[in-house]
Chains A and B, each alone.
Chain A
Amino acid sequence: MDAIAELSAERGYEATKIGDIVSRAGVARKTLYDNFEGKEDVFLAAFDSAVDEVVGRIEERCDEAGEEWEERLQAGLAALLAYVAEQPAMARMCMVEAMSATPAATRHYEEAVQRFVAMTRASVPHYEQLPETIEETLVGGVAWIVHQNLRRGEAEKAEGLLGELSEFVLAPYRAVAAAR
């Protein structure tokens, strides 16, 4: 799974062949087929396990941050950015390549977005003054900023985005709270 992340980050999903994956991973072709149906299956398994890992890390950091929602949200964002800095190939595979890989990858990507939207919604205050789609657009905005960071090959600087991204996500809620 790490091999497919590295390869698709380097050359794209389509140009990544089974032969490249097995030689990068140092396993026999048969071993791959014992565990996976084929290239797409490896890709989707890697994608799903990376999303589970990120969601797990976010939840952990949020819980450490305590009760206050702004702190929790910032901790969650920090966990996401730390993952990107630590695992740039996997992050790039999930956030950049998945959108253009296969129909199933697009579906998995969409399901992951839904999870992040639901997580955000569950942790912010609910104000009827804000648009119903606010969390969807905020998550999409954060994803695009990280996407651009990965595309520029600047994953090591991802954590430097924390201040601006926190500001972007918190601003609509703070504005409503301030007006009350």
Chain B
Amino acid sequence: MERLPRGRHGLPRQFVIQNQRERLLAALAECLYKRGYESTTVAAIGKCAAVSKSDFYKHFESKEDCFLAAYEDSVARVRREVLAACDRRQRWESRVLGALEALLDLFAAEPALARLLLVEGLRAGRGVYDRYQDALQSFVPYLRDGAPTPADGAPPPPETDEAVVGGVAALLARRALADELEQLPNFLPQIGEFVLTPYLGAAEARRIISDR
């Protein structure tokens, strides 16, 4: 994020404050990605954002507080992009695959965001870790909403939705840890098939993926 010009620039105070806050949050993700949670100190975040330490404390009480804000922002951002990709589509399977594609593309393009959400950010204390667990669970109702049952079988057991979300998250976290996020979009067919299979049956899931 661009820092503002020095000295008298005539920009409204509110704008300056908002810009500083956004720079700090972006800097946090960047620092975290480059040096890991333990070395991401208030001083390092401030330096990367070009915001003084005293200005940092005008926005956040502590490093943990800044992490929680960055985490909330990132979760909201992922949710926005993923849900926007669902909204344009009618059929359940198109919505699910659209959402997955948006998620994989976003994490591939912004590895710092993925590492904040899935790996390093989790070490920032109980508050953030709780937020991670809740955020993951919050995708479950979207998956369940409008999900069909396989033509040739019984509906999947109730835990399936959670297990599917958890399975995808585990795969993403492992790629983030191995620094292989740029390859994520290549995994869309495999992950898509895993997600669709319990609801549509294996044959139908494969057909939909290969037609795509």
Q: Which residues of A contact B (CB under 8 A)?
A: 12, 14-15, 99-103, 106, 110, 113, 129-134, 136-145, 147-148, 151, 161, 163-165, 167-168, 171-172, 175-176, 179
Contacts and interface: CB of A to CB of B under 8 A. Distances in A.
A132 B189 CA distance: 10
Nearest to A138: B167
Interface stretch (B4-12, B103-111, B153-161): B153-161
Closest 7 CB pairs of A and B: A144-B166, A140-B170, A141-B167, A141-B163, A131-B190, A175-B202, A137-B167
B125 interface: yes
Given A14-B125, A144-B165, A168-B160, A136 B171 contact: yes
A101 B122 CA distance: 8
Given A131-B194, A176-B202, A168 B189 contact: no
12 contacts: A15-B126, A99-B122, A102-B123, A113-B170, A131-B193, A139-B167, A140-B170, A141-B164, A141-B170, A144-B165, A148-B133, A148-B137
Given A110-B174, A140-B167, A165-B163, 15 more contacts: A100-B122, A113-B170, A130-B202, A132-B190, A133-B190, A137-B191, A140-B166, A140-B171, A141-B162, A144-B167, A144-B170, A145-B162, A164-B159, A175-B202, A176-B202
Given A14-B125, A141-B164, A175 B203 contact: yes
B177 interface: yes
A151 B133 contact: yes
Contacts of B170: 113, 136-137, 139-141, 143-144
A14 B122 CA distance: 12
Q: Name which of B162, B163, B174, B202 has the most chain A CB atoms within 10 A of its CB.
A: B163
Interface of B: 36-38, 119, 122-123, 125-126, 129, 133, 136-137, 156-160, 162-171, 174, 177, 187, 189-191, 193-194, 197-198, 201-203, 206
Given A106-B177, A168-B159, A179 B203 contact: yes
B38 A171 contact: no
A175 B198 CA distance: 10
A106 B119 contact: yes
Nearest to A168: B163
